[in-house]
Amino acid sequence: MAGERVKLQVKERESRGSADARRLRREGLIPGVLYGNGTKAYAICIPERELRRVLSGAGGLHAILDVVLEGEKSTHASILKDSQQAPIRCHISHVDLHEVRLDQTIQASVNIQLVGEPAGAKEGGVLSQVQREINVEALPMEIPEHIDLDVSGMAIGDTLRLADLGPMEGVTYLDSPEETVLATVTLPTRVEEPEPEEVPEGEELPEGEVPEGEEAPEGAAEQPAEPGAETASGEQGEPGTTPG
C-alpha cells in the first residue's frame, strides 16, 4: 500500500572499506549509505533482522523509512534506492538509502501484477507477462507497492499495453503507452515432427540402401561370393562348377 511509513534505527559507521563491510556482515549487520537531500552522506549499518522486517512490511520496497541515526532524535524520511545481494546466499549485502522531501515527486519502478484468468487461456491460449515493471513518478507517499492489471477479458491474440492500464490518481506513468507491452495471450507453440523422406517415383535407391521405416530382408546383408573367391574350406570355386 502507498503511504506506509516505518521507523528504522541505524548506526553510523566509523570507517568504510571491504574489510570493514565483511566484519559487519559477520556480526549480523548490513552496511549501507544514507544520502542526504542536499546534505552530506552517512556511512551506516543496519541489523539484518531489522532491515528484513521493514522491507517485508505492508509498504514493501516503497515504504517511507523514517531513519533515526543512533544518538539523534531527528528523523530522515528516506526510501530504499538500491540494494545489492550476496551471489551465493542471496541475502542483502549492501543498501543505499536516499533522503526525500515528502512534498516533492520522485521516480520509482513499480511491479505489475496480473489478476484473473484470461478467457483465451480456457481455450488453450498461453498468457505471457512481457513487462513486469513500469516507471512512475509520484509523491513519496503516493508510490504504490504494486499495480494490478486485470487480464480476465483477454482472448487468444489479445495484447495489453500500458495504454490499457487504468490511471491512478497522483501517479504518472513514464514509459511509452503504446510501445510498452504488458501481457499477451497466444496459441501454444507446436513442435512438428519431421516427416520421413520419400523417394520420387521412378528413382531407385542406391544398391543396398533400404527406405526409412522398412527392414532389410533376411540374408540381404550377405553378399554373393565373387568368382574365384575362396570357399569356407579354402578352395577356389570355378564358375559353373561344384568343388569336389
pLDDT at residue 44 is higher than 70: yes
Distance of CA 94 to the CA centre of its chain: 22
Residues 6+ away with beta carbon under 8 Å from 109: 133, 134, 135, 136
Closest alpha carbon to 156 in 131, 180, 189, 123: 123
Of the given ranges (57-71, 184-198, 210-224), which has the lowest mean pLDDT?
Answer: 210-224
Q: Looking at the predicted structure, is the pLDDT value of residue 86 above 60?
A: yes
Continuous H helices in the chain: 18-26, 48-55
Residue 186: per-residue pLDDT? 95
Position with higher pLDDT, 103 vs 226: 103
Q: What is the pLDDT of residues 47-67, one digit of tens each?
A: 999 988 888 877 778 889 999
Q: pTM for the whole thing?
A: 0.68
Residue with grid cell 495489453, as numbered in its chain: 160
pLDDT at 189: 76
Given a contact cutoff of 8 angstroms between Cβ atoms, the answer to whether 181 and 175 are in contact is no
Question: Is residue 222 scored above 60 in pLDDT?
Answer: no
- Min mean pLDDT across 30-39, 144-153, 194-203, 211-220 is at 211-220
Q: Which residue has the higher pLDDT, 192 or 42?
A: 42
15: confidence class by pLDDT, cuts 50, 70, 90: confident
Euclidean distance between CA atoms 11 and 96, whole angstroms? 14
Residue-level pLDDT at 85: 77
What pLDDT score was predicted for residue 231? 47
Least confident of 120-129, 172-181, 189-198, 225-234: 225-234
HEC string of 133-144?
A: EEEEEECHHHCC
Average model confidence (pLDDT) across the chain: 82
Q: How far apart are CA 158 and CA 12, in angstroms?
A: 53
Strand ranges (E), the chain: 5-12, 29-35, 41-47, 64-69, 76-85, 92-99, 106-115, 126-129, 133-138, 146-150, 159-161, 172-173, 181-186
More confident call, 23 vs 89: 23
Q: What residues have CB less than 8 Å from 148, skipping those under 6 apart?
A: 113, 115
For 35, 81, 135, the CA distances from 107, given in Å and listed in that order, are 16, 10, 7
Q: Which tens digit of pLDDT belongs to each residue from 90-116? A: 678 899 999 999 999 999 999 999 999
